Amino acid sequence: MHAQIEDLRQRASADIGGVRDAASLEQFRITYLARKGAIALLFEALKSVPASEKPSVGKALNELRQQVQSLYDARREKLSTAGAAKRHIDTSLPPRRRWVGSQHPLTKTLDEIKSIFIAMGFAVADGPEIEDDYHNFGALNFPPDHPARDTQDTFFLGPTTLLRTHTSPVQIRVMESMPPPIRSIMPGRVYRNEAINARSYCMFHQIEGLCVDRGVTFSELKGTLIAFIKQFYGPNLQYRFRPTFFPFTEPSADIYITCFLCRGKGCRVCKQSGWLEILGCGMVDPNVFRAVGYEPEKYTGYAFGMGIERIALLRYGIDDIRLFFENDVRFLEQF
């Protein structure tokens, strides 16, 4: 009997070393400590031990049970603290970074431009991006054979429906809906069927403005746009107006400012000219007034337009227009 007890002690000591998880611990308990386990069987066998040996065998059996129980308890404790260690929260770890959103550079540029014109008394209008040929071209005095109407420049959706190529049709719709005076700006998306590269994209944003009333003059156009330029680009900059042509305005001009990258010396961005074109403008063509039912003898007006991407590219020194539309956080988080 003593030999059996010793044998069991050694087996239990060896087995406990292999216990690595709750399932093998339970198997250990069933093998040795359960009601029908190995130790219980030896206690059963104690009954048939001669009376003279019972005290010493009983004592040895009780010691065995205590030792195996201690092995079991110690291992259970170890396994549960190992599990707790896995769940332990390391308060010395630096916290996870919180992502704080920022405004898109186009939104920032647009908001700044809008707020300057709103402060000067302009209302903000909007209209559909899917337009008809008449509002996008006809009413704006584009002749039927104008090259802008070519499918190479315009996305046509049907024979007379298209994606607007500028925000001017909204100004037509504003004039169709109410009599003068009009003083509104129109920001929005426009589409052109162009090859995509670093400088041009098939979609971009414009902001246009229109002011119509009795006796509106080119001087008012100049005063308003110079006030805008000084607020947006700074008070001490040089600007110049150069005659140009648009179907919807006559006379028409492009406004340039001194290149703020080379200060007028000439660089890659201003194509060595020292000047940057930032705005187009002009007096609304009488034919446009006729199209919306305004009397050209009674009313005059000025209009202007600028491309938001171009302004934002220059302002933030970005060299590829596609970056605005890729939504790469490494780009967006810089604003």
- The contact set with ligand 2U9 (CB under 6 A) reads 166, 168, 171-172, 206, 208, 210, 246, 248-249, 280-282, 284, 288, 303-307
Would you say 110 or 284 has its CB closer to ligand 2U9? 284
Quote the least distance from Cβ 97 to ligand 2U9, whole Å.
38
Task: Please answer whether residues 301 and 211 qualify as being in contact, where contact means their C-beta atoms are separated by less than 8 angstroms.
Answer: yes
Beta strands at 249-258 and 239-246: parallel, antiparallel or unpaired: antiparallel
Q: Are 261 and 269 in contact (CB under 8 A)?
A: yes
The DSSP H or E segment spanning 279 is strand 275-284
Closest separation in Å from C-beta 326 to ligand 2U9: 21
Distance of CA 268 to the CA centre of its chain: 30
Quote the least distance from Cβ 164 to ligand 2U9, whole Å.
12
Q: Which is nearer to ligand 2U9, 19 or 306 (CB)?
A: 306
Tokens representing 140 are 């704006």
Q: Which residue is at the shortest CB distance from ligand 2U9?
A: 280
Tokens representing 307?
């491309």
CB count, 10 Å around CB of 310?
18
Structure-token pair, residue 247? 């179907």
No. of H helices and E strands in the chain? 11, 9
Q: Is 130 helix (H, G, I), strand (E, B) or coil?
A: strand
CB closer to ligand 2U9, 105 vs 280? 280
Minimum separation from the CB atom of position 307 to ligand 2U9 (A):
3
Q: Which one, 62 or 152, has the nearer CB to ligand 2U9?
A: 152
The minimum distance between CB 252 and ligand 2U9, in angstroms, equals 6
| CA distances, 195 to each of 150, 192, 198 (Å) | 14, 9, 10
The answer to whether residues 205 and 192 touch, using CB atoms and an 8 Å cutoff, is: no
Q: Which is nearer to ligand 2U9, 64 or 281 (CB)?
A: 281
Nearer to ligand 2U9, 28 or 248 (CB): 248
Least distance to ligand 2U9 from the beta carbon of 248, Å?
A: 4
Q: Retrieve residue 295's tokens.
A: 């009397």
- Shortest Å, Cβ 303 to ligand 2U9: 3
CB nearer to ligand 2U9: give 154 or 168: 168
